[in-house]
Amino acid sequence: MPRLLILSATLLTATLLSTASAKTEITFLYGLGGELGKAIESMIKDFNAAQNDVTVRGEFANTYEGVVQKALAGIAAGQPAGDVMQLEVAYVPRIAASGALVNLKALPGFQTSFNAFWPVFKTQVSREDGAVYSMPWNNSNPVLYYNPELLKKAGLSAPPRTYPELRVAARKITAATGVPAIALSSFPWVLEGAVWSNGGEMVDNGKLLLDQPAAKAVITDWAGFFRDGSAVLQSPNTRADFAAGKVAMLMDSVAGRPGLKASVPFKFGTAPLPYYKKPVVPVGGATLGISKGSSADKQQAAWTFIRWLAQPQQQFTWIKMSNYVPITRTTTNLPAYKTYVASEKGLEIGGQQLSYARPRPSTTGYVQGTQEIIKSLDRIFLQDAPIDATLSDLVQRTQPLFKDTK
């Protein structure tokens, strides 16, 4: 592989040059705030203290969407918005297609790093042509958070494990307490898991499959929660509602835990995500990409930073602050990690669910498709729109977005 050699040589030279002169400064554009944002800044600080070649400067872009906006503006301006960018998995294909991301496969030590990841994360970042434009970092899956007091009032001693159980429990809770039992989301993340667990698919053969029996059954079931008043739509207010005892359960990322712990005044419970026929959870979160427009030494520095973050010790430090799931087997097998997740009930679930986790659909059309799904589900859940007609309309409307999807 002469190209690899040349690249390695270039990078080596660049490294030598950079050590000879000053430190290489790179920017890391990220999109998580609150407790998680603090955790990211803390990781950056650790990295800067741990070595002498690279200085990372964190830059907060408000949200994952904000990272993408800045990235795009950077492409338009011909000046990368950040050397390392935290990219939500669904956004990667669009940005990679523009040629703005480095194909990491060609970088030194890629294969070793890559092989360490759990299979689900390898699948998540691998494109059809074999290229890899971003490395897994902060990954999560959803769990069921519940208010044990409200469940107890409804005579329930354990959280529901399946959707049929959830349905029964929800009715009981709402009847006994008068508050909505569960918050369900129109954002199709938890829904993806539900559809897969019911034997269905989200996208295939160039279109959405939400009008197919398995998916339609899930959506009809969910709509039932709203129709009998035992569900509310998940919104930015939901966590506050949960904290105030105004909703008994919600399905949310394992990484939502530090935020919940900071704001919920009671001891809340955590349970595996409910399922239909077989347990499946969707993997979510973000991956790290390197801007092609950055200079060679910055790319090299970025790569060093990314690989440092994936090392077990750093992963573990990060997980303790953020409650994301381990992305490598080695981290999962760390004795310290095992002790940590055993220290508090509920912490272990995210890692356990990895064995039946699936990556989110990440075709270029899914970004816009997601917005259409949200709109249609809002109509079904909140405005009693007819399910059959709304879903077939949704599939038809979004077809142009998925025409390239196999």
Partner 1 sequence: MTRFGQEALSLAVILIFLMPLVWMLLAAFKPQQEVFIGGFWPSAWQWHNLADAWNSAPFGRYLLNSLLISLTTTAAVLLSSALAAYAFARMRFPLKAFLFAVALGTLMIPGDVLLIPNFITVRQFGWLNSYPALIVPFAASAFGVFLLRQAFRQTPVELEEAARLDGATPAQYLWRILLPINAPVLSALGILTFLSSWNALVWPLVVTSRDDFRTVQVGLASFSSLEGSNLPLVMAATLIVIAPVMIAYALAQKWFIESAAASGLKG
Partner 2 sequence: MPGALLELLRAAPYLLPALLIFVVFTYYPLARVLYLSLTDADMLSAPNWVGLANYRQLLADREFWSSLGITAVFAVGVTALEVGLGLALAFLMNARTRTQSLLRGAVFAPVVVSLAATAVIWNYLLNPNSGPVNRLLEGLGIAGPGWLSDPQTALASVILVAVWKGVGLPAVLFLAGLQGLPAELEEAAAIDGASRATIARRITIPLLAPTTVVVVFISLIGTFQSYGLVLLLTSGGPAGATNLLGYSIYQNAFVFFQMGLASALSVVLFALLLTLGIIQLKLAERRVHYQ
- Which CB contacts under 8 angstroms, 24+ apart, belong to 316-320? 316/340, 317/43, 317/46, 318/39, 318/43, 318/138
Kindly give the pairing relationship between strand 182-184 and strand 135-140: unpaired
Smallest distance, partner 1 to C-beta of residue 259, A: 3
Which residue stretch of 3-11, 77-85, 267-275, 353-361 sits at the interface with partner 1 (rule: CB under 8 A)? 77-85
Integer Cα distance of 202 and 195 in angstroms: 7
Report angle CA 70, 76, 82 to the nearest 5 degrees. Answer: 40
Q: Which of partner 2, partner 1, none binds 259 (CB below 5-8 Å, type-dependent)?
A: partner 1
* Residues of this chain, 33-92, that bind partner 2 according to CB under 8 A: 65, 68-69, 72, 75-76
The yes or no reply on residue 371 touching partner 1 (CB under 8 A) is no
Q: How would DSSP label each residue in 122-138?
A: HHHHB-TTS-B--EEEE
Q: Which helix (H) or strand (E) holds 330?
A: helix 329-333
Radius of gyration of the chain (CA): 22
The tokens of 24 are what?
A: 């290489």
Residue number, 16 or 77, with CB nearest to partner 2: 77
The yes or no reply on residue 73 touching partner 1 (CB under 8 A) is yes
Question: For residue 346, which phi and psi values (nearest 5 degrees)?
Answer: 105, -25
Q: Which of partner 1, partner 2, none binds 59 (CB below 5-8 Å, type-dependent)?
A: partner 1
Which residue stretch of 38-46, 207-215, 320-328, 369-377 sits at the interface with partner 2 (rule: CB under 8 A)? 369-377
Q: For residue 362, how many other CB atoms are within 10 A of its CB?
A: 20
- Non-local (6+) Cβ contacts of 46 within 8 A are 314, 317
Tell which one of 258, 272, 274, 279 touches partner 1 (CB under 8 A).
258
Q: Are 86 and 288 in contact (CB under 8 A)?
A: yes
The yes or no reply on residue 95 touching partner 2 (CB under 8 A) is yes
Question: For residue 5, which phi and psi values (nearest 5 degrees)?
Answer: -60, -45
Smallest distance, partner 1 to C-beta of residue 238, A: 10
Strands of 61-169, DSSP E: 84-88, 135-140, 142-146
Q: Which of partner 2, partner 1, none binds 392 (CB below 5-8 Å, type-dependent)?
A: none
Residue number, 14 or 203, with CB nearest to partner 2: 203
Tell which one of 12, 240, 262, 342 touches partner 2 (CB under 8 A).
240
Q: Which helix (H) or strand (E) holds 271?
A: strand 269-271
Integer Cα distance of 82 and 232 in angstroms: 39
The yes or no reply on residue 383 touching partner 2 (CB under 8 A) is yes
Residue number, 19 or 371, with CB nearest to partner 2: 371
* Residues of this chain, 151-190, that bind partner 2 according to CB under 8 A: 186
Residue number, 82 or 93, with CB nearest to partner 1: 82
The tokens of 121 are what?
A: 């994360």
Smallest distance, partner 2 to C-beta of residue 76, A: 5
Integer Cα distance of 228 and 215 in angstroms: 20
Q: Are 202 and 192 in contact (CB under 8 A)?
A: yes
Smallest distance, partner 1 to C-beta of residue 63, A: 6
Q: Which of partner 2, partner 1, none binds 167 (CB below 5-8 Å, type-dependent)?
A: none
DSSP annotation of 361? P
Which residue stretch of 11-19, 130-138, 166-174, 372-380 sits at the interface with partner 2 (rule: CB under 8 A)? 372-380
Tell which one of 51, 98, 313, 396 touches partner 2 (CB under 8 A).
98
Q: Which residues bind partner 2 (CB under 8 A)?
A: 65, 68-69, 72, 75-76, 94-95, 97-98, 100, 186, 232-233, 235-237, 240-241, 244, 246-247, 367-368, 371, 374-375, 378-379, 382-383
Residue numbers of the site for partner 1 (CB under 8 A)? 27, 29, 32-37, 59-60, 62-63, 69-70, 73, 76-79, 81-82, 236, 239-241, 243-245, 255-256, 258-259, 262-265
